[in-house]
Amino acid sequence: MNIDILENLITEGETLTNTISYVPAGHNVIRVGSVYTASDLEKYQNWQSSVLRFVKTYHSSDLEEVKEVSKKISPENHRKIMGILKAIKLLPNEPERTIEVKGSTNNINITNTQSVSQQLTLNIFLDAIKDEITGKDFKALKEIMTDYEKEPEQTKSNVIEKVKGFGGDVLSNIVANILTNPTIYGGLF
């Protein structure tokens, strides 16, 4: 997780706290609830979008709650967003989750104990590969990998041969996509 981004979001959120103000009802208007706005609405909405993107990328277990409180500007919802950001700073690791997927023939239990950054890096690599090869080629790679546990050396050779078959341009594009991803690029320097 990028702590600098989190710190900046918290700092900007604290600054924006004082920009939220009540919008009085117009003449002959009856409201059921209170309406609020921010004095610099565009800046506030950009901050909210950045918070959503950060939470989606680094702490997805809080995504639904942040989405819900971001629907309507209010001092209370703003405090909730700030509380979530501060909680992420205090407890940065995602809780362990067990996911059970039931298929018609298989039961698969997956326990997620990887840190968010490891999962993000893995997703970057998979996305870079998926962006450059066809679905058919990706499926073929997955099929080759099914034998990895039994025959790691042979599987490695088969993967190398398959990847070589994609051609130099495809391989160059995959490597370029990985290296130019902001998360990877930021870690290089």
In whole angstroms, what is the distance from residue 73 CA to residue 87 CA?
20
Query: What DSSP line would sit under 64-104, residue for residue?
Result: HHHHHHTSS--HHHHHHHHHHHHHHHHS-SPPPEEEEEE-S
Distances (CA, A) of 123 to 75, 140, 154: 36, 19, 25
Predicted local confidence at residue 125, as pLDDT: 74
Domain residue extents for the chain: 3-90, 114-188
Per cent of the chain over pLDDT 90 is 30
> In Å, how far are 17, 38, 149, 157, 160 from 153, measured between CA atoms?
58, 60, 10, 6, 11
Chain segment 135-173, per-residue pLDDT in tens: 888 888 888 888 888 888 998 898 888 888 888 888 888
Please indicate, yes or no, whether the overall pTM of this predicted structure exceeds 0.75: no
Each residue of 69-123: pLDDT tens digit? 999 999 999 999 999 999 888 887 765 555 555 555 555 555 554 455 556 666 7
Cα distance between residue 31 and residue 51, in whole Å: 29
CB 7 within 8 A of CB 65: no
Q: Which helix (H) or strand (E) holds 53?
A: helix 41-58
pLDDT by residue (tens digit) across 10-22?
999 999 999 999 9
Q: Which pairs from 92-95 meet CB under 8 Å and 24+ separation?
A: 92/1, 92/3, 92/59, 94/59, 94/60, 94/61, 95/61
Query: What is the predicted pLDDT for the residue at 72?
Result: 92
